[in-house]
Each structure stands twice: as structure tokens, then as C-alpha cells.
Amino acid sequence: MNIAHLKIKEEKKLLSPVQKEFNRLNGKIERIKKNIEQIPVKINIIRTFQLEKLNPIKEKILQMQLEFIQKLDSMYDTTKLNTMQKEALALYIMEISDELLLEDIDSKTIDLLNDIYEKYNKITYSEKELEEMKTEENEMVKAMSEMLFGFDINDLSEDEAEDLLQKKMEEMLNQYDEEWEQHNKRKQNSRHNSKRAAAQQKREMEKKAEENATIKTLREIYTDLVKKLHPDLETDEKLRIEKTEQMKQITEAYENKDLATLLVMQINWLQNTDKNPQNQPDDVLAKYNKVLKMHIKKLEQEYNELIRSPFPFETDINPFGMLGATEIIIRKVLEGYEYKMNMKLKEEKLQLKKIGSSAGLKKLLSELYDDDDLDDDLYWQELENMYLKNEYF
């Protein structure tokens, strides 16, 4: 049950500070509740924008990138390039393939990109180099596995090695948890045995006194509501049924130590009688204000957790701070994402257009590696010859 927005009316007399505080706290509760109620609305705005605006652009970008890499693959085989240009193009194709494999794509596209990547991986590295890399990798795995397990896991099958690594990881985590728990126990025992400062003792006493006062207020409100709303005291059958339901809520709130709910029910009862909240003495309202502050703290915690939570759906939008903004700001930010993605789409179209000819491909490679001499056959041939003759170093 939520606390309704209550307000003590200022009639002929001025409100007391406690009454003003009562109004201020209720107003703050109402604002926080409205903010919480707006969270699902904001999430729906973002989800709809992602589905209707961003996803179609994202699909077009992905399709353009696939066309681009397939065009590069085709031009590698059909365009006259020197050795260095071919190597640069092979590395570029591998780089794009690797990036696209991180996207949310179907299995058919994954197979296509894997095939392209493997093709140029073999071109870039000779069979001898690949074998040396494999040997280095095996030696590294051997050294690590002997350190962890005492033997070489290269001798195991892939499934056996994976199971062993998983088991070892669980053992390490369990050992870490156990050591951390023992550390905390030692720390707690040390604190318990040490002499606490007078200020700490005072804070604990104040906290305990506050808890006792809260329990006392809880009992007082509960007893008061039982006296006023007990169904056995009601002769009207319709009202008896209503009060029976109210008593269930009162009892449940009392058993759960839900002071805020009991306070709401008491205030609602006051509003339905001639005993309005404004007629309550300041000492009673002061107790109400204390509970209202507790309720505000709880609502603020709930709101902060909601706005910091990730979106419950896949999105290209950074959730940080989005749900805490107004709807107008959110829509402006979303429009910014749409603009950037459209610019990205135009950039992909331009890249595809650039490689419409061999000259365009060579120019693209030159731009990518920021070297005006990349398309100079004589330069690269000479450099390659110097390298082979070991004259470059």
C-alpha cells in the first residue's frame, strides 16, 4: 500500500513547523512515486525506438558491411596488386571479418565470415609460420597446465581439458571463498575483542533507542487501528466486510513490521472522519513525519535501483542515466543515436563505392595505412628485395 499525497490545509491560522514538514514530506513522496511509475513508460519508449528506428538501420549497415567484405574478397583475386598491397588487403579483410563475427548474426553468415577469415589467415602466414605459432601456443599451454595440474593438458581431448579447467577453476574459487570467509571471521573477532570507542557506543545506543521507538510507534498505531476498525464493533454488514479486509491488512503489516502501511491506514481513517490530520497534535504528527522519512528513503532506494538497472532487452543505447532523464531528454538522446547510425550507414555506402575500381581499392589501402607510396609498385618491390637480401637492417 502506498502513502497518498496528503496536505494539511492552511485556513485562518498559520501552519506549525511540524505541519509544514508533514506537507513537504508527503509532496516528496508523491513526486518519487510519479518518477517510479514513469520508469516502465520510459523503458517502453526506448524499446519501441530500438525496434522501429535503430534495428532497421543496423540491419542495413550489417548488409552493407557484408557486401563490402565480399567485394574486397573478390577484388583480391581479380585485381592486380603487388605483394605488399596484397598483404595489406588480406590483413584488412581479416580485421573486418573479426569485427563482424562479434555482431548478432545468423549461422550462415558466421560460416561465410569464418571461411573468409581462414582464407586470408593462411595467405598472411605461411604453413611454416602457422606451425611455429601452433608450437608456441602448445608450449605455453603445457607450461601453464604443468604449473596448475602437474601434467600437460595437450595430451587430453578438448572436452576432457575443458572439464578439468572448469573443475580447477571451481576449486580455486571455493578456496578463495573459504579464505575470504576466514579473513572476515578473524576481522570480526578482532573488532569484537577490541575496545570500542565512546562515539561508536553512543551511535549504537542511539540506533537501538530509535529501533525501540519505532517498535513502540508500530504497536501504538496497530492498537489504535484495531480499536477503530475491528469488524466485531460494526453492525452494518457491508461495513463489517470492508473492516474485515482492512483488519487482514493491518495484521499483516504489523507482523511484517511495516510501519509505513499502518501509518497510511491510520491517516486514511482520519481523513474519512472528522479527525483530519491537521487536527492532530504536533507530537503525533512528529511521529508521522518520522515514518514518512523512512518511507522516502525506501522509495528513493527503489528508484535509484530502477534507473541504474540495465534495459530488459538488447539495445545499442547506453543505459547510463537514461531512465533518470525526462521523456523529452530521452527522445532527444534517441534521435542522436539515430543520426549517428544513419551517418554510419552513409559511411559504409561510401566505402563500398570507393572500391568500385582497382584504382579506388589502391587508394583505400593507401588511406587506411596512411602511406602515399602504398600503390607504388616499384617502391614496394625494391623494399621487398632489400628485405630478402637482408639489406634493410
Residues 149-190 pLDDT 10s: 666 766 777 677 667 767 776 776 677 677 777 777 776 666
| Chain mean position to CA 176 | 26
What does the pLDDT read at residue 23?
Answer: 86
Side-chain half-sphere exposure of 300, counting CA atoms within 13 A: 9
Spell out the SS3 assignment of 60-98. HHHHHHHHHHHHHHHHHHHCCCCHHHHHHHHHHHHHHHH
Sequence-distant (6+) residues with CB within 8 A of 150 are none
Q: Is the pLDDT of residue 273 over 90?
A: no
Confidence of residue 5 (pLDDT cuts 50, 70, 90): very low
188 occurs within a structural domain: yes
Residues 141-153 pLDDT 10s: 677 666 666 667 6
Q: Is the pLDDT of residue 200 over 60?
A: yes
69 occurs within a structural domain: no
**Region for residue 257 given its phi and psi (left: phi exceeds 0; alpha: psi -120 to 50; beta: otherwise):** left
Q: What are the cell numbers at 234?
A: 460494526
What does the pLDDT read at residue 324?
Answer: 92
Rounded CA-CA distance 335/348 in Å is 20
Rounded CA-CA distance 329/24 in Å is 27
- The letter for the amino acid at 8 is I
Rounded CA-CA distance 303/309 in Å is 10
186 occurs within a structural domain: yes
187 occurs within a structural domain: yes
50 occurs within a structural domain: no
204 occurs within a structural domain: no
Residues 46-101 pLDDT 10s: 999 999 999 999 999 999 999 999 999 999 999 998 888 888 899 899 999 989 98
Q: What are the cell numbers at 89?
A: 588487403
Q: How many domains does the chain have?
A: 1
160 occurs within a structural domain: yes
Domain holding 177, by residue range, is 156-194
Residues 357-377 pLDDT 10s: 999 998 888 887 655 444 444
175 occurs within a structural domain: yes
- Which range among 153-157, 181-185, 231-235, 319-323 has the greatest average pLDDT? 319-323
What does the pLDDT read at residue 2?
Answer: 44
- The letter for the amino acid at 371 is D
